[in-house]
Homo-oligomer: A and B are copies of this chain.
Amino acid sequence: MKEIRIGILGFGTVGAGVVEGIQKNGALMAERTGIHPVVVKIADLDMTTDRGIALPEGVLTTDAMSVIADENIDLIVELIGGTTIARTFMLEALKLGKPVITANKALLADHGEELYQTARDNHTGIYYEAAVGGGIPILRSQRAGLVGNQIESIYGILNGTCNYILTRMEREGLPFDEILADAQQLGYAETPPDLDIDGVDTAHKAVILASMAYGAPVPMDACPVQGIRGLADQEISNADELGYRIKLLAIIKGNAGEVELSVEPAFVPKTHMIASVDDAFNAVFVKGDMVGDTMYYGRGAGRSPTGSAVIGDIMEAAADKLHGIGTPVSVTMMLQKDELKYGSPANIEKRCYIRLSLLDRPESMDKVTEILGRHHIGIASVTQKQGPKKGYASVVVLTHKAKEAEFVAAIDEINVLKVSDADPIRMRIEDFE
């Protein structure tokens, strides 16, 4: 039986989950893999909070650098989070040739290139399954199981907080702000909730998925981001009536050598698998040229699910270390190409849902139709209802596919129409084609 000696930086929620998991299932893991995991040191500035875990004397320390440098430690688990001190620590460990396991999506999204390069230069690895989709083994599936596939598209529900809020808005018919406040009280949403509800956390994960799919670090500014803040319950109920559900999606497509990606709330058909993903669950839908449609589903966050992913990576890093593998595919796959080409967001073709508030006269819709037509936006359906404002109708248009730039221009024109009362609401319809 071989032994792997682990140093953990950060003893918060996930750190505690990892230690608890190793204490509970370490013997089973050793039986399965032939490698016995031993937590040698844990660094955290907070030495007093009770995490409900008994540790031998001397394991907990405030000195992260001493853990990294400890010759008795084979690999480093970075669970501090953030992009400042975590970056410093990770670079330090890599430069000592020590593999680093991390759940830090923000750090990889912002500084991935530097980190992957440093790992490669020092013949070691970074393992980051836990950074995307929590406990779901999505990156492992993508890089190993689907290694023979050209990735055609990836659709992800990657933020449990947003999915929880959307699910409750649907079920309870209550407004966004009320559900958000309740979610914060229940611990399902952070305070402030910005990173989650504005889509940034989803975008961090999207660029990691896209980087792995297409072989080079994707910068955050290649990913237009729109969150769900202030989503009206009217959109939720309109979607329902039209046979759709609204999900905050990461959308990644490889299109004739160009990568298109975005994060945005989208209408998804109720009949599609990904529409069945409720509550705080995550799912990633991957389409490969050989395998066709696949989907991976599970808890996207939390002490034990994320801990499960970190432990999977610890055991992989341990095996790589013991077999002298040096730099693993999780790093080399991110550095296949120097640069990727990105489709211009303005050229992305999509279907849209557009809700308008129009003066209730026949000519109103004529004007809208004329503008859409001039911008090559075909209309798939129109439904009209009594609007909330007297004399105005609420009109919902579902379009055929058209270019994003045309939608933007058309909406600008509609906006200044005298018959149009409020700013039109527009959302993508994703048919997964």
Supply 17 further A-B pairs (C-beta < 8 A) apart from A32-B336, A297-B297: A24-B289, A28-B150, A29-B148, A32-B147, A32-B329, A32-B332, A34-B332, A136-B294, A145-B309, A148-B311, A149-B308, A276-B276, A291-B305, A291-B309, A294-B298, A323-B323, A323-B324
Are B141 and A141 interface neighbours, CB within 8 A? yes
Are B273 and A290 interface neighbours, CB within 8 A? no
Closest partner residue, chain B, to A304 (CB atom): B290
A112 at the interface (CB under 8 A from B): no
Q: Which of A22, A144, A215, A295 has the most CB of B within 10 A?
A: A144
How many Å lie between the Cα of A323 and that of B320 in the bound state? 9
A217 at the interface (CB under 8 A from B): no
Q: How many whole Å from A295's CB to the nearest CB in chain B? A: 4
Number of copies: 2
List, sorted by A's number, 10 A–B pairs whose CB atoms are closer than 8 Å.
A25-B148, A25-B289, A29-B148, A32-B143, A32-B147, A144-B316, A149-B308, A273-B297, A291-B304, A292-B299
A225 at the interface (CB under 8 A from B): no
Are A147 and B33 interface neighbours, CB within 8 A? yes
What residues of B have a CB within 8 angstroms of the CB of A307 in the complex? 148, 290
How many Å lie between the Cα of A296 and that of B299 in the bound state? 13
A114 at the interface (CB under 8 A from B): no
What residues of B have a CB within 8 angstroms of the CB of A371 in the complex? none
Closest partner residue, chain B, to A140 (CB atom): B145
Are A147 and B312 interface neighbours, CB within 8 A? yes
Interface string of A210-245 (1 = CB under 8 A from B): 000001000000000000000000000000000000
Closest partner residue, chain B, to A312 (CB atom): B145
Please judge, given known A-B contacts A144-B312, A333-B32, whether A291 and B298 are in contact too, CB under 8 Å: yes
What residues of B have a CB within 8 angstroms of the CB of A32 in the complex? 143, 147, 215, 329, 332-333, 336
